[in-house]
Amino acid sequence: MSTHDVQGLVTRIERLERKNRFLIGALLVLPLLAAAGWVAKEDVLKVKRLEIVDDRGVPLVILSPDRLNEGGMITLRDKDGEKRGWWQAGPGTSSLTLNSEGPDATGDSTLGLTVGPKRSALSMFSKNGASLSAGMQADEPKVELYDTKGHPLFVAPWKSK
């Protein structure tokens, strides 16, 4: 038998082992589901809140109504349960927010994107309060840059129309 033939046999055996693992898993899981009384009757799952948790029970993904029950919200959390990103939709608006924290808990920064009927904006904030905001309101662009003490470093347009 040549090396090529041996490699072909090894490949076929590995493929069969993968298929058998799937079949054995299915044969174990299906009776457990049947014993638990699980039967797929509906095409729609209706819940007020859905959480995906890790092995310790920390919710990492949450799908729920927003706080005012005006729309939906998807929240992503890190392994410590800290909120790191969320997408929220309401009547005529949608926003995406991302939050990051440095390893020493001193480097928080937040990025937000908001879209509405007459306004859209991109905002960035540092932990100490420096900010950058760029947006459009009623077809007029505006850019603002502030230092950590809230003093304007750059604002455009300078003059209102």
Q: Please give the DSSP secondary-structure letter assigned to residue 54.
A: -
Q: Whole-number mean pLDDT of the chain?
A: 82
Question: What spatial distance separates the first Cα and last Cα of the chain, rounded to whole Å?
Answer: 86
CA nearest 52: which of 67, 37, 65, 63?
Answer: 63
Give yes or no for residue 141 having a pLDDT over 60: yes
pLDDT at position 120 is 94
Radius of gyration of the chain (CA): 26
User: What Å distances lie between residue 65 and 60, 90, 117, CA to CA?
Assistant: 16, 10, 21
pLDDT band at 103 (very low <50, low <70, confident <90, very high): low
- Of the pLDDT bands very low, low, confident and very high (cuts 50, 70, 90), residue 34 is low
Paired with 140 in beta bridges are: 137
Dist. CA 80–CA 95, nearest whole Å:
24
Task: Label residue 147 by pLDDT band (50, 70, 90).
Answer: very high
Q: Is the dihedral of CA 126, 131, 132, 133 positive or negative?
A: positive
What was the pLDDT predicted at 127? Answer: 85
Segment among 66-70, 81-85, 102-106, 121-125 with least mean pLDDT: 102-106
